[in-house]
Structure formats: C-alpha cells, structure tokens
C-alpha cells in the first residue's frame, strides 16, 4: 500500500487533533519516529503515517536528580550528548538498529520507549522499561494521557508506563518520555576468555554475574570459521575499583582459563558493537532472531536449533539473550525455533526478515489463548478503533 499522507504534528495537541480526525475518517495510522527500526515487528498496514519528527527537544534535565524528559521525536544522539556533558548516561544502553537494518536517519528516544530497546547493560541495570518513569501519550480516542512522572519512586495508580513501553506504537502515540539516569562510569575494562564452548561459557558468565564484582556486560561469541570463541565480561566503575575487580574476577574465573584484557577505549567499541549486534549484522539478507531465555538453558536451545538450522549466533545477557542469524528461506526457521523455545521457555522475535515473510509469520512469540484475550482487551482499552499500527505485533490486533 502506498502511504499518501504523512502527518508531522508539532505539539501534543496537534497529535490529539490528528488522531481525532483519523478516528472520524476511520483512517489507521502508522506511527513513526526516525524510521531506523521500521523493520521491527510485522509490516504495518496503514494508509497514513504520523511522524514525531517535529516533536523534539529536551524539556527537563536535572543532573543532580538523575532525570531527563524529552519529546518523543528527540534524537537519541542529542540526549546522549546532553548527558555526556554531565557525565551521565541512559543506563540500559539502547541498541542502535541502523547496522542490522542498514537504515539511515536518527533513532528517536520515543522509539526507544515504544519498543523497550535495551542493550548489554540490561543484565545489571535493567531494561528501558525499568528506567522509563514517566510518559505522555495520546490514546486511540484522541485523548492526551499522562502516566508516571518525574520522580524516582512512584506507585500512584496503575503503571500504564510499563504497558505502553514495548507496545510498538499500538497503544498510543508517545509524545514525551521521562527516563531516570545513572552516572557514566569513569572507567571500563573487559576480561576476554578464549576457547570456551557454549555450555562452559554460560557457566563462566553465571559465575561472573553471581560474583560481587558488578559485572555489567557478559557475552559469548562462539567459534566461527575466522575466529576462535571469546567470552567477554565487562567491569565499570571508578578506576581504583575497576583495577581491583578485574583482578578479583580473573582469580575467580581461573578455572575457565587464562584471560586477556581490553582497557577503556577498546572495551567501549567492543560493547558498542555487541549492543548493535554488529557480529551478525552482515550478510544483511539473512534472517535475524532474538531469543530471551533463562541463561543456563540457552546452550541447549542453540544445540536443538543447530540440528536443523544453519546459522551463526552469539549470546548476550550472560546467555539470557541469544541472537541467531540464519537463511531467510522457507519459514526463516520459525517452526524449529518455536518448537525449541517451547521446550526451554522464553520467547523469540523475528527481528529481521523480508516484509512478506514478517507479514506471513508470527514475528513475536504466539501467546496462549488466555494471554491473547488479555492482549486484545488491553489494545481495545487504549485504542478501541484499532487505529494505531494495525497488525504490527499480532495479525488482527
């Protein structure tokens, strides 16, 4: 379907007006930020697009309170620049999808919230949804709704922030987000252990994450044709603590082999590359799966998949997040992956595949009938006419 209309509201009240007009005209809307993650989810079937491109700007930043608010279309790069000047960061380390999708443009902070985008530090600090403390959005009735606020602790009323976060624009048009922050660690270092198989690597990462040394990243890159297996563990803190903890960790993990080290700058680029799934970004025509499982069951999951599927994988989150690239042929491996996940628990998302495949397959893990009923109910409670991103998460929702 060609999209003739692109709305670019400049304020929340503009958004509400566009939504009310679309309601009247029964015209579904595709919701778009920077467009760099357009391949995430099922292809949306909407004749008009609502873009947050002109809904920009930091609206509140209090470094001493570790809180920032910004309009949804604000580029993540602008937020990170402002935070960097004050030695702070978004703790959950949001992934940049441009490498994976070969897309251009500026990722927006609204999309980070809408898709609950986190990175390697999720394992220690929590996800985007754990740091998103406030939201403003326009629901499918054209009403501007607020949930949460700008303070660190808030249990007042139902936590709609969490529901909207990760709803991929299907519940409302996010107009403004508020995130809590952390100081940027003064120093980063990485321990690299070579040659572990997947089982040993997860055992090693579990030992590291179960240590008192606050490991903030734990990933495993299995052996490939061109490179041996590497298990990488990140420590971040003041320099004196990093020195001490690297030493202690090395001692603790000595049964897994003699590690090498990466210091600050090489660590930063390694973890940026892992955050953005650099190891599996190319070749770009392969299908890419993202699987969330209990870490100790991840090697079993991959062993099951390797029986029928060819491809490459790496583990993040201590094994709890498996990225798997395979041929975009047939069903992209969906049947085998769903069956294997059924045995290990967790869920799989088809992050990258041609449009026609993402339209034909379940992109997100299918829900049980009881959860699907609740899901449909929640969708209707926000968006009774099914105006926003129809079919983006589930066919017919």
Partner 1 sequence: MSQIAFPEPDPRILARRDEIVAGLARLVAPESLITSEDERRAFETDALTAYRRMPLAVVLPRSTEEVSAVLAYLHGQGVKVVARGAGTSLAGGAIPQEDAVVVGVSKLNRILEVNYGDRVARVQAGVTNLGITDAIMADGFFYAPDPSSQLACTIAGNIGMNSGGAHCLKHGVTTNHILGVRMVLIDGTVVDIGGDHLDANGYDLLGVIVGSEGQLGVVTEASVRILRAAEGARPVLFGFDSSEEAGACVADVIGNGIVPVAMEFMDKPAIEITEAFAHAGYPLDVAAMLIIEVEGSPAEMETQLARIVEIARKHGVRTVRESQSALEAALIWKGRKSAFGATGRVADYICMDGTVPTSKLSYVLQRTDEIVKSYGLRVANVFHAGDGNMHPLIMYNVNDPAEQAKAEEAGNDILKLCVEVGGCLTGEHGVGIEKRDLMRFQFTPVDLDQQMRVRAVFDPGWLLNPAKVFPLDQRDAA
Residue ranges in 81-100 that form contacts with partner 1 under rule CB under 8 A: 87
Strands 144-148, 230-237: pairing kind: unpaired
Q: How far is the CB of 86 from partner 1 (least distance, A)?
A: 9
Scan residues 356-395 and list those touching partner 1 (CB under 8 A): 364-365, 367-368, 370-371, 374-375, 377-378, 380-382, 393-394
> What is the CA 338 to chain-centroid distance, rounded?
20
Site for partner 1 in 7-46 (CB under 8 A): none
Stretch that binds partner 1, among 6-14, 59-67, 255-263, 330-338 (CB under 8 A): 59-67
Rounded to the nearest whole angstrom, what is the least distance from the CB of residue 283 to partner 1 in the complex? Answer: 28
Degrees, nearest 5: CA angle 134-40-311: 130
State which of positions 245-304 bind partner 1 (CB under 8 A): 248, 292-296
Residue in 105, 183, 257, 266 binding partner 1, rule: CB under 8 A: 183
In the complex with partner 1, the residue whose CB is nearer, 14 or 159, is 159
Least distance (Å) between residue 309 CB and partner 1: 21
For 247, list phi and psi in degrees, rounded to 5.
-60, -50
Q: Where in 97-116 is the site for partner 1 (CB under 8 A)?
A: 116
Count, residues near partner 1 per rule CB under 8 A: 82
**Which of 21, 25, 85, 146 is close enough to bind partner 1 by CB under 8 A?**
146
For residues 176 and 60, give the distance between their C-alpha atoms in angstroms, rounded to a whole number: 11
Q: How far apart are CA 61 and CA 236, in angstroms?
A: 24
Q: How many residues does the chain have?
A: 397
Euclidean distance between CA atoms 288 and 388, whole angstroms: 26
Q: Is there binding between residue 354 and partner 1 (CB under 8 A)?
A: no
Residue ranges in 148-167 that form contacts with partner 1 under rule CB under 8 A: 149-163, 165-167
Closest distance between partner 1 and the C-beta of residue 346, in Å?
A: 4
Contact pattern for partner 1 over residues 307 through 336, marking x by CB under 8 A:
----------x--xx---------------
Least Å distance between CB 158 and partner 1?
Answer: 4
């Amino acid at each position: 379907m060609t999209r003739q209309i692109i709305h670019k509201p400049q304020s929340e009240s503009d958004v509400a007006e566009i939504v009310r007009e679309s309601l009247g005209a029964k015209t579904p809307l595709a919701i778009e930020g920077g467009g760099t993650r357009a391949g995430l989810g099922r292809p949306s079937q909407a004749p008009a697009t609502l873009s947050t491109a002109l809904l920009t700007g930091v609206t509140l930043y209090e470094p001493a309170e570790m809180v920032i608010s910004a309009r949804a279309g604000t580029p993540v790069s602008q937020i990170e620049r402002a935070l960097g000047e004050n030695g702070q960061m978004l703790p959950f380390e949001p992934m940049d999808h441009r490498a994976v999708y070969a897309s251009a443009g500026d990722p927006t902070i609204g999309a980070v919230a809408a898709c609950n985008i986190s990175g390697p530090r999720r394992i220690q600090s929590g996800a985007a949804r754990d740091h998103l403390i406030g939201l403003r959005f326009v629901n499918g009735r054209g009403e501007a709704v607020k949930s949460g606020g700008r303070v660190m602790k808030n249990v007042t009323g139902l936590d709609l922030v969490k529901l909207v976060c990760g709803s991929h624009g299907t519940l409302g048009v996010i107009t403004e987000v508020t995130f809590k922050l952390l100081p940027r660690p003064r120093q980063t270092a990485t321990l690299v252990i070579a040659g572990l198989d997947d089982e040993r690597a997860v055992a090693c990462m579990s030992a590291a994450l179960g240590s008192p040394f606050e490991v903030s990243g734990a990933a495993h890159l299995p052996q490939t044709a061109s490179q041996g297996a590497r298990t990488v563990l990140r420590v971040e803190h003041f320099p004196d603590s990093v020195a001490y903890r690297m030493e202690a960790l090395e001692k603790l993990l000595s049964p897994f082999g003699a590690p090498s080290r990466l210091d600050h700058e090489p660590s930063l680029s390694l973890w940026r590359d892992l955050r953005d799934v650099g190891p599996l970004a190319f070749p770009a025509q392969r299908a890419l799966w993202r699987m969330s499982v209990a870490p100790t069951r991840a090697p079993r999951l991959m062993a099951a998949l390797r029986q029928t599927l060819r491809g490459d994988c790496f583990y993040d989150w201590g094994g709890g997040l498996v990225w798997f690239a395979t041929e975009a042929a047939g069903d992209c491996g969906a049947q085998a992956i769903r069956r294997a996940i059924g045995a290990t628990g967790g869920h799989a998302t088809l992050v990258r595949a041609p449009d026609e495949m993402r339209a034909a397959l379940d992109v997100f893990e299918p829900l049980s009938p009881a959860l699907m009923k609740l899901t449909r109910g929640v969708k209707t409670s926000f968006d009774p006419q099914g105006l926003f991103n129809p079919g983006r998460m589930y066919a017919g929702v």
